C-alpha cells in the first residue's frame, strides 16, 4: 500500500492506493498552518501503514537532491509554510521513503502513465486555478533542471484593451497575474463561475492561454498537452485559445488537430493524487 499527498494552498488531499493508480480511502484536510495540518496528515497514514509516501506539493519547493534544504517549501507567502521541511517531517514521523515533486509534475506523471497521455514519453500538464503552473514529462522523465520549472509566470503580450494591472505578487502582469482565477475575479468583479455567459471574459482568457501554449509548444514540443484546473471547467475557453493559437502559430509547426492535441485531464480531478502515488512508487525504487 502506498500513500499520496496532494498538498494544495487551500486543502490537502491524502489517499492510500496502489501503483496501478487504484485509490482506496481518502480524506481532505484544510491547509492552515503546518502545526495543524501535518499532524492530521500523519495520523491518517499512521492508521493505514503505508510503504512509501508521494507528495505533490504547491510550490515553489526545493526538489534538488543535493541541496541542504531538499524537501522544503521555499518562497510561498502562505503563513508558516515558508522554509517548512515537508519531506523531513513526513519521513521522521512515518519512517518510510518519501517522493517529492510539484503538484503539477505529479499530475503530469499521472496523466502520462494512466491518463490522456498514456503511453507517451512526453506531455505537458497545465493547471489554471488559483495559480497557473505546469509540469512536463520529457523523454519519459519529469523535467527538472536547477529546480522545477515555473511556467505559470512567463510574460505574455497584453491585449491592447486590457488595462487590468495584474495580480501576481512577484511580477504583476505575468501569465498567472493576468489569467489565473483570482485575476479573472478581480478584473471582472465576479467569480469565474458567475461570469459564464460573458463571452468577452473567456475570449480574453483564451487570448492569454494561447500565447502560453504557443511558447510551451515551441520550447518543449510536447506530444500532448493537458489543461486542468478550476478555470478550465469553462470549456468555451478551448475554442477561443484554439482560434488564437492557430493565428499565432500560423502553420509554422506541424501539430495534430488542436482538439485532439490539447485536452482535459483523462484522470479528471484525480491526476494529482494518482501522480503522487506514482511518486511514492518511484521513491521505493530509488
Ligand atoms: P486550486 O487552484 O486552489 O487547486 P481550482 O483549480 O479549483 O483550485 O482553482 C480555483 C480557481 O478557479 C478560483 O479562482 C475559482 O474562482 C476558479 N474556478 C473554479 N471553478 C470554476 C468554474 N467552474 N468556472 C470558472 N472558474 C472556476
Ligand atoms: Zn508571476
**pLDDT tens, residue by residue, 29-62:** 999 999 999 999 999 999 999 999 999 999 899 9
Atom number in ligand 1 closest to CA 182: 14
Ligand 2 centroid to residue 134 C-alpha, Å: 13
Ligand 2 centroid to residue 85 C-alpha, Å: 24
Q: Write down the pLDDT at residue 76.
A: 84
Percent of the chain with pLDDT over 70: 100
- CATH classification of 2-102+269-285 is 3.30.420.40, yes or no? yes
Q: Write down the pLDDT at residue 286.
A: 85
Atom number in ligand 1 closest to CA 10: 3
Mean pLDDT calculated for residue range 246-268:
98
Same fold, 2-102+269-285 and 116-264: yes
| Order of strands across the sheet that contains 11-17 | 23-30, 11-17, 2-7, 53-57, 98-102
Confidence of residue 77 (pLDDT cuts 50, 70, 90): confident
- Ligand 1 contacts CB of residue 182 (under 6 A): yes
From CA 204, how far away is CA 178, in angstroms rounded?
A: 10
Per-residue pLDDT of 80-104, as tens digits, reads 999 999 999 999 999 999 999 999 9
Question: What is the average pLDDT score of the chain?
Answer: 97
- Ligand 1 contacts CB of residue 234 (under 6 A): yes
Mean pLDDT calculated for residue range 123-131:
97
Class of the domain covering 116-264? alpha beta
From CA 117, how far away is CA 131, in angstroms rounded?
A: 23
Confidence of residue 78 (pLDDT cuts 50, 70, 90): confident
Q: Write down the pLDDT at residue 99.
A: 98
Atom number in ligand 1 closest to CA 180: 14
Quote the pTM value.
0.97
Q: Write down the pLDDT at residue 146.
A: 93
- Ligand 1 contacts CB of residue 8 (under 6 A): yes
User: Is the pLDDT assigned to residue 269 strictly greater than 90?
Assistant: yes
User: Is the pLDDT assigned to residue 79 strictly greater than 90?
Assistant: no
Mean pLDDT calculated for residue range 226-245:
98
Contacts of 261 (CB under 8 A, 6+ apart): 224, 225, 255
Q: Which residues have a beta carbon within 5 Å of ligand 2, which is an ion?
A: 153, 168, 170-171, 174, 176
Residue nearest atom 18 of ligand 1, based on CA coordinates: 230
Residue nearest atom 22 of ligand 1, based on CA coordinates: 193
140 CB-contact burial (10 Å; exposed 0-12 / middle 13-18 / buried 19+): exposed
Question: Using an 8 Å Cβ cutoff, are 110 and 266 in contact?
Answer: no
Ligand 1 centroid to residue 192 C-alpha, Å: 7
Per-residue pLDDT of 183-202, as tens digits, reads 999 999 999 999 999 999 99
- Ligand 1 contacts CB of residue 10 (under 6 A): yes
For the chain, the structural domain boundaries read 2-102+269-285, 116-264
Q: Write down the pLDDT at residue 27.
A: 98
Amino acid at each position: 500500500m502506498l500513500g499520496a499527498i496532494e498538498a494544495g494552498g487551500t486543502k490537502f488531499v491524502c489517499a492510500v492506493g496502489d501503483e496501478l493508480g487504484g485509490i482506496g480511502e481518502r480524506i481532505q484536510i484544510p491547509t492552515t498552518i503546518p502545526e495543524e495540518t501535518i499532524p492530521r496528515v500523519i495520523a491518517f497514514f499512521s492508521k493505514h501503514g503505508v510503504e512509501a509516501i508521494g507528495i505533490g506539493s504547491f510550490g515553489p519547493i526545493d526538489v534538488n537532491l543535493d541541496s541542504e534544504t531538499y524537501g522544503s517549501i521555499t518562497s510561498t507567502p502562505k503563513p508558516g509554510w515558508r522554509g517548512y521541511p515537508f519531506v523531513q517531517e513526513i519521513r521522521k514521523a512515518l519512517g518510510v521513503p518519501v517522493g517529492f515533486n510539484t503538484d503539477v509534475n505529479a499530475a503530469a506523471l499521472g496523466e502520462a502513465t494512466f491518463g490522456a497521455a498514456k503511453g507517451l514519453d512526453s506531455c505537458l500538464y497545465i493547471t489554471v486555478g488559483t495559480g497557473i503552473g505546469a509540469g512536463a514529462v520529457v523523454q519519459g522523465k519529469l523535467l527538472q533542471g536547477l529546480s522545477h520549472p515555473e511556467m505559470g509566470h512567463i510574460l505574455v503580450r497584453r491585449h491592447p484593451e486590457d488595462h487590468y494591472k495584474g495580480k501576481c505578487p512577484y511580477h504583476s502582469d505575468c501569465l498567472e497575474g493576468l489569467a489565473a482565477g483570482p485575476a479573472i475575479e478581480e478584473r471582472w468583479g465576479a467569480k469565474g463561475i458567475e461570469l459564464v455567459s460573458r463571452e468577452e471574459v473567456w475570449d480574453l482568457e483564451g487570448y492569454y492561454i494561447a500565447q502560453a501554449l504557443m511558447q510551451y509548444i515551441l520550447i518543449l514540443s510536447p506530444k500532448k498537452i493537458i489543461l486542468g484546473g478550476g478555470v478550465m471547467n469553462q470549456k468555451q475557453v478551448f475554442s477561443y485559445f484554439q482560434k488564437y493559437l492557430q493565428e499565432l502559430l500560423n502553420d509554422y509547426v506541424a501539430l495534430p488537430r488542436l482538439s485532439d492535441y490539447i485536452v482535459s485531464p483523462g484522470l479528471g480531478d484525480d491526476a494529482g493524487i494518482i501522480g503522487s502515488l506514482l511518486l511514492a512508487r518511484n521513491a521505493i525504487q530509488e
